[in-house]
Copies of this chain bind each other. A is one copy, B any other.
Amino acid sequence: MSSNQPPVDPNLLAWISNEYHDANGSRFETLDHPPSPLEFSRLVHISRPVLIKGFIPPALSRWTDDYLVDRMGKRPVSVAITPNGQADAVTTSPDGSQYFVEPLVEQMTMEELLDCIGQGSSGSRRDEVLYLQSQNGNLYTNSYFEGGVSADCEFETLRPDVPAEVPWCSDALDKPPDAVNLWIGDGRSVTSVHCDPYENIYTVVRGAKHFTIFPPTDSVWMLERSYRHATYVRSITADLELIPSLDTPQVRWASISNSEIEGAAPTNTHPIRITVRAGETLYLPVGWWHHVKQARDVTIALNWWYDAETQGLNWIGLSLLRNLENNDHSEESE
């Protein structure tokens, strides 16, 4: 790769942001049934969000609380715990500094998790927010698709309910997903705005997800900064404490806040708000910024991440829009 990438003039980035919006608007297509592989390939080329109905994994009809508890039994499940529902987000520590903070991860049973989340939760940790969001391919990882020995999978007993691949997407992209994830949370959890180097197929199984998304051309308004890394740790008094990491590199993350996005979105941005309900699937193209809230009650979702195409112009364009080195796309999250 070449080095010494010249920075892109912010005036040019602002112009591109407006030009893209003038040409493409804020509309998104809704399909009443899943696309054919060819139709989906065309949609990937355009790289605009699409709400897709009628893609119904078996989980949709099966996943009652009783079913999930029964299938999972005593198996431990890794759950993200924060005091405020903001896992993987920029947070101000008690000393006034800002950090990119990762959640405490604790293991519990599915029954314990479901007892602690949702409107009617009566668990013992009501002041903490739980979110199953391990996002490491907790259902299927690429080693599964490569036929290698699969790493331990916490949710192996739920696999019969979730297809390893989205057939129309795998056929369109000519590859299996890189990771398939299960997400379980409630209205107290928020995913802070970020983008991923993946084509993302996001299906809601129960509840609803409220996406606020921004095109890659709005990258300039996301004000990405480098933040020191920290993690929530359980203190001796059992409280959650934000502990700066010693050796973890800084994390590049958008600096616009959740409250900015949940209210009127920041000036100059071009947000599209899409609610994805049970039985609906969002195609979220590579490089699109997204902030995600959930319905108050338990929300369960699945997502399939497919590696984005790195040949051609688009990948370099996405990097330039973020003033990013070509191979330096930030880590994923939802």
Contacts and interface: CB of A to CB of B under 8 A. Distances in A.
B317 A23 contact: no
The binding surface of chain A is classed by DSSP as: helix
Contact of A311 (B6, B9, B46, B310): B46
A45 B326 contact: no
Work out how many copies of this chain go into the complex: 2
A2 interface: yes
A311 B15 contact: no
Given A19-B316, A312-B46, A313-B217, A6 B6 contact: no
B216 A313 contact: yes
B9 A316 contact: no
Interface string A294-334: 00000000000000011111111100100000100000000
A127 interface: no
Interface string A202-220: 0000000000000011000
A326 B23 CA distance: 9
A2 B18 contact: yes
B48 A16 contact: no
Contacts of A23: 1, 310-311, 315-316, 326
A277 to B, nearest CB: 26
Nearest to A217: B313
**Which of A4, A20, A45, A172 has the most chain B CB atoms closer than 10 A to its own CB?**
A45
Interface of A: 1-2, 4-6, 8-9, 11-12, 15-16, 18-20, 22-24, 37-38, 41-42, 44-48, 171-174, 216-217, 309-317, 320, 326
